Amino acid sequence: MLLTRRCCYLFAFCLLPLWALSPLTLAASFPPPEGEVLLRLSGQIEHTNVGDELHLDRAMLMSLAPTVIETGTPWTEGVSRFKGPLARAVLEAAGVNVEHVRVRALDDFEAKVPVSDFHDYDVILAIERDGEPIAVRDLGPVFVLYPFDEHPELLNETIRFRSVWHVGTIHAP
Ligand SMILES: Nc1nc2c(c(=O)[nH]1)N[C@H]1C(S)=C(S)[C@@H](COP(=O)(O)O)O[C@H]1N2
Ligand SMILES: [Mo]
């Protein structure tokens, strides 16, 4: 009896607050964005902030596991320093629990990308190149970037197809 009560206290005072502070819960409470929206998550998502979508501005994106990848790509010259959130962190923030997502670009290009890619590799949603925002006339505003130099096996047609630039929406079907 005493033991049971102790367990209850343990849960209420120690474990519950820990759970409440987990990154997922924090992410779930994203307010509507104040800055320009760079990325929208739609479809089967758990955490929304505008209607049934999650809209993210630059600051919100950069708060989700900001990561630097220095790499060349088939579309850029030499090595660039790309920065942005880990793709898996963004999906976690939206509460996405599906096998693949549809990455939609502003030019209507769309790629079906297995979420496993984001766990197998540190794929980022690049929103900065060499310290500057990526312009839409370049590869921006959001560019799905695989770490090509670190994993040369990624330089194949399948991954090229999933390397979407001008990304506007990630849809969980
Ligand atoms: N926004 C956008 N991203 C895109 C595409 C596109 O048309 N629009 N084409 C994809 C495909 S099919 C490939 S192979 C590469 C195209 O690269 P390439 O045209 O330089 O070969 O980018 C991918 N990302
Ligand atoms: Mo392609």
- Per residue in 114-169, pLDDT (tens digit) is 999 999 999 999 999 999 999 999 999 999 999 999 999 999 999 999 999 999 99
Does the C-beta of 164 come closer than 6 Å to ligand 1? yes
Does the C-beta of 75 come closer than 6 Å to ligand 1? yes
The rounded Å distance from CA 77 to ligand 2 centre is 19
The rounded Å distance from CA 98 to ligand 2 centre is 24
Question: pTM for the full model?
Answer: 0.84
Supply the pLDDT for residue 29: 75
Mutate-to-test residue for ligand 1 from 107, 109, 169, highest number of ligand atoms within 8 A of CB: 109
Supply the pLDDT for residue 28: 52
Does the C-beta of 105 come closer than 6 Å to ligand 1? yes
Judged against a pLDDT cut of 70, whether residue 5 lies above it is answered with: no
Does the C-beta of 102 come closer than 6 Å to ligand 1? no
Rounded to 5°, the CA angle 51-53-57 comes to: 110
Which ligand sits nearest to residue 109's alpha carbon? 1
Supply the pLDDT for residue 8: 47
The rounded distance, in Å, linking the Cα atoms of 63 and 60 is 5
The rounded Å distance from CA 161 to ligand 2 centre is 5
- 39-51 residue pLDDT tens: 999 999 999 999 9
Helix/strand/coil (H/E/C) assignment for every residue in 47-93: CCCECCEEEEEHHHHHCCCEEEEEEEECCEEEEEEEEEEEHHHHHHH
Does the C-beta of 158 come closer than 6 Å to ligand 1? no
Judged against a pLDDT cut of 90, whether residue 22 lies above it is answered with: no
